[in-house]
Chains A and B, each alone.
Chain A
């Protein structure tokens, strides 16, 4: 049958959710069920790094029920992801193993950037609207329970993405401690949100005009999808209408909001908070249209599955977003665009020529590409201590779409570009990295080093390099007109490491003209 049924499970911090999808060429992703169960894993996990016995019990019980529900739809594949609450459990591996033993379900853990990347893919699954809107410039406000993620798009490219601890439930907790009057709530929320947003604006937005904001949340999305506010299409509302709604909402009680929108009272409170966040985000970027595509992480999970299994092909190139993101980080730290381009070109040429030997794939190529982009970002802080500084910058910057391990790989490539390479024992002491990860770091570092060596003068002499694998040698040839004395002289040490890793000796040669 041309239709495949897939289940996407999101073990969230405050909610356990499952969506059932039908994936087919014709209808692409069709959601057929959305089951949600409130369970507060976050409070436990954030405070004590554990999960209580009761929660564990409940979690397993509901997951088992999910399995039964999957059967009712004849689900043929599933993917389950845990997000921040699971991520922050000290005994995460034990918990995941227990869940597997009890329910038979395997849960993977997403880093924040992976999670947001999936959310972003979820939006992209809405196809044309997405392409059009990011072309015109947009700010994605991904509003979660614990934090929000702002991702800025200019002309189809992702400029930056930042996480802020301003999640709906987190703000609600803070509010409840203050126990304010209804009329004070908006002002209080504004105070809590605004200073962080102001920093974001100062650093990234400056005076850029952003036409749209794309909202991913559970509440505003629902309201707009329902067309509770007048908009040009489901999910859309313009600045003016939204402003009017906010004015009314400031004076409504939760019960009134609930009645008007047909939602529960508890949700109406959270809706209000989410609305205020949306309004404030709209304010800082001056957008005149809100689009809430009404997607959740589960949509992204399904999108990713459909993409990987090639059940459906999508037009947007997400790798370009990751690279764009890296480019923008580099730009922020005054990295040389030209130099990065050269380095990238050399490194990829070598990588591609070594394919048979390193045995790595497309994803690692992407990591190498990012490493070349970020290889010198530490210079912004210290010219003497570039390696450590670059490493630290990368480790504390979100690169959307990369898992934690992948970020570690990139950061270490950059670090060992200049420093003496460490043994597995040394490296795994500081980093949560396994043998495979270690080898990837070594292999990519070796290539990066050689590439870096070839551009020692920063004059892009080797820009049009050719690489050819011949017996135990990698022949790197440049145009004969170029003076490569400097590169040749300093190349040996870098070549040694390359040889150590690959048993292949890189050799520079001038092409005979």
Chain B
């Protein structure tokens, strides 16, 4: 029967953009969730807003480019770019409506109940408050404003991407001429949230645009203000085509480049109830079509909520901040090289601290026996201690090679700055590879020891970014396994432009063989299932949209392989299609930390194999990026990795289950005890650290003789 099913039938796939919007809805549902502390909900709502901005700038912009270029190739689910845009319009309008419903109906009233009043319209200010605000305007805001009017001698000004502006229609005082358009940008240098003085312990805030709106006549003294409303635009500013699209598209775009309006506005957000005449002017000047206009019932650009989250006070409305714990094998004073020599170490961030990884590089930089440090850097935090350590290592005469990926989205400029810094310090810097993004996270330390060269390797699923390592869940392996060391050396040889090694011992690399490797591993389960053994796959990824991988999973499902997928974001695979995907379950965990680790489990007929890596099951990861997949081979570590997967499968608090109709729902707990895997990991990490600490401190004045352990 399997032979007769065409697993590539577009009907068996979900469009990736729609699936992404569903993900954003899951984030939104966290903002709705009354179980979450109120301020956490603000944060989630803010995330949905910034997510959506990025989605417009990258994905929607890309689709618009395709439409402009006359590109008609269908996607995985069989839609042309034009059809996708139509579908997305409806969905995004719906999503935005829901965002504001949550904001207005749920969050604002509850904030007020908890002593934080958001003054939505300046008209609501009391007289006293009004006076304060006017003074604030005169002292702080007025000096930095640049009002711009439009008339025959002054053209329509450039409205900056993502900036918040106030548009107004003016009439010359006493004049009879027509209305004139004017605009002023809400300055981004000032805090969007303006707090009012209070004397009853409650807090009142008003948004900056309201402050300006209230005082707008002071900007146009010779005019009467007919109306004034905030608006915000999003531009197709990204000249590079998203790498996910086919190369033929790139050529097409090049040909069509002249036709394309660069920097074209693709979304206009305006306050609901904006004067139609004003809207008409803006719409006309920005050449925006009706369906690209979003009429917003509330403040534009909800990302200010992240700032609100950061306001002092309200601690009882926030989640208790979690402090990453020490890994039991890596207490702060441990000799990291000695510890790694004792055995491989698996780290689970942010439950376990990222500090040992930073220390690993810091120690290597100072260690007189270390000869060389090699590392790939993708997104690094500003002021990164890792960069400083690498520079110091070079200064100490170590050979330091760093591959800096400049193509990381939005980070280009930032990356160039510190790459230059490293070069100045004497590091050998490779600025990425032609045509490929280096997404792998690997560090190699070459150390000369008594019995010869030993290589220490760190392989991770997340970037070497000490800031995001506190928010993203990632896993990493520290090892001095000789075979992995050889492979790591080979990886850096390849990144330096040398030939592929004759053999790889343990690592699989994209874009060379990673996809085949995955397909092989999936297929192997299929074969086992067909021959009557138990087939079982558990995969945790951020996105699943590679057609070949999904096809292989469908085939495996049909052969009877049990497939459990933990996919945080985009999932183009559909579950529960009779004869296609009945044995596949998909769940998505959206929690306090951003799920980011990629872990793969294959039953392998009773000899389970576990892998981790930097790659998602996306075409771009498997075909246009340098990615590394590494095995976890130590039995104890395998158990730890499996525990991570099993806990995620057990989660009934933050897990959303994908249904056969394509929607996600939260688990029905049906009386079972609530289990949040992220909370559980926090608890476990704390307990493990506590045990080690207790053991280290001993019990007061009694000496404890060292005993041989039972194993």
Chain A residues within 8 Å of B, Cβ to Cβ:
1, 3, 5, 15, 22, 24, 26-27, 30, 32-38, 65, 68, 71-74, 218, 221-222, 225-226, 259, 262-264, 267, 294
Contacts and interface: CB of A to CB of B under 8 A. Distances in A.
B502 A222 contact: yes
B518 to A, nearest CB: 12
A26 to B, nearest CB: 7
B578 interface: no
Interface string B498-513: 1111111000000011
Contact of B503 (A15, A33, A222, A264): A222
Contact of B504 (A3, A22, A37, A262): A262
A5 B453 contact: yes
B499 A72 contact: no
Contacts of B490: 34
Contacts of B371: 71-74
A24 B502 contact: no
A225 B570 CA distance: 41
Interface of B: 371-372, 399, 428, 446, 448, 450-453, 486, 489-490, 493, 496-504, 512-513, 516-517
A36 B451 contact: no
Contacts of B516: 259, 262
B450 A262 contact: no
B499 A37 contact: yes
A5 B454 CA distance: 13
A318 to B, nearest CB: 27
Nearest to A26: B451
A72 B399 contact: yes
A35 B493 contact: yes
A72 B498 CA distance: 16
A435 to B, nearest CB: 42
A226 B498 contact: no
A34 B513 CA distance: 20
A73 to B, nearest CB: 6
A404 to B, nearest CB: 30
A3 B493 contact: no
Contacts of A1: 450
Interface centre among B452, B490, B512 (most CB of A within 10 A): B452
A74 B448 contact: yes
Contacts of A71: 371, 399
Given A3-B452, A218-B502, A72 B446 contact: yes
A22 B371 CA distance: 14
Given A22-B452, A73-B446, A226 B493 contact: no
A36 B499 contact: yes
Nearest to A23: B452
Contact of A38 (B450, B451, B499, B517): B499
Q: Sort A-B residue pairs by CB-CB distance and give the 6 closest, nearest first.
A: A72-B372, A72-B399, A36-B499, A222-B502, A22-B452, A3-B452
Contacts of A5: 453
Contacts of B498: 35-37
B489 A33 contact: yes
B400 to A, nearest CB: 9
Contacts of B452: 3, 22, 24, 27, 30, 32
A36 B493 CA distance: 8
A396 to B, nearest CB: 35
A264 B500 contact: yes
Given A68-B399, A68-B428, A262-B513, A73 B453 contact: yes
Contact of A225 (B372, B446, B448, B503): B503
A298 to B, nearest CB: 12
Interface centre among B450, B496, B502, B516 (most CB of A within 10 A): B502
B491 to A, nearest CB: 12
25 contacts: A1-B450, A3-B452, A22-B453, A24-B451, A24-B452, A27-B451, A27-B452, A32-B489, A33-B493, A34-B502, A36-B498, A36-B501, A65-B496, A72-B372, A72-B446, A74-B371, A222-B502, A225-B502, A259-B516, A262-B504, A262-B513, A263-B500, A264-B500, A264-B512, A294-B502
Contacts of B428: 68
A1 B449 CA distance: 10
Contacts of B513: 262
A27 to B, nearest CB: 7
A35 B450 CA distance: 25
A411 to B, nearest CB: 39
B453 A32 contact: yes
A309 to B, nearest CB: 17
B618 to A, nearest CB: 21
A72 B373 CA distance: 9
Contacts of B496: 65
B446 A34 contact: no
Contacts of A225: 502-503
Nearest to A262: B513
A3 B451 contact: yes
Nearest to A37: B498
Nearest to B453: A32
Contacts of B517: 262
Contacts of A262: 504, 513, 516-517
Contacts of A38: 499
Interface centre among A26, A35, A264 (most CB of B within 10 A): A35
Interface centre among B428, B451, B516 (most CB of A within 10 A): B451
A262 B507 CA distance: 11
A264 B501 CA distance: 10
Contacts of A33: 489, 493
A34 B453 contact: no
Nearest to A22: B452
A94 to B, nearest CB: 27
Contacts of A3: 451-452
A225 B504 CA distance: 11
A16 to B, nearest CB: 9
A72 B501 CA distance: 19
A448 B89 CA distance: 99
A27 B452 CA distance: 9
A263 to B, nearest CB: 8
A292 to B, nearest CB: 11
Contacts of A226: 503
Contacts of A72: 371-372, 399, 446
A264 B504 CA distance: 12
Contacts of A22: 452-453
Contacts of A267: 500
Contacts of B501: 34, 36
B57 to A, nearest CB: 37
A24 B448 CA distance: 14
Nearest to A31: B486
Nearest to B455: A32
B481 to A, nearest CB: 14
Contacts of A221: 502
A271 to B, nearest CB: 10
A218 B486 CA distance: 18
A72 B496 CA distance: 14
A267 B504 CA distance: 14
A73 B444 CA distance: 13
A222 to B, nearest CB: 4
Contacts of B500: 263-264, 267
Interface centre among B489, B490, B497, B517 (most CB of A within 10 A): B489
B683 to A, nearest CB: 42
Contacts of A27: 451-452
B644 to A, nearest CB: 28
A20 to B, nearest CB: 8
Contacts of B493: 33, 35-36
Nearest to B501: A34
A3 B448 CA distance: 10
B89 to A, nearest CB: 42
A68 B407 CA distance: 27
Contacts of B504: 262
A33 B496 CA distance: 14
Nearest to B512: A264
B499 A15 contact: yes
Contacts of B502: 34, 218, 221-222, 225, 263, 294
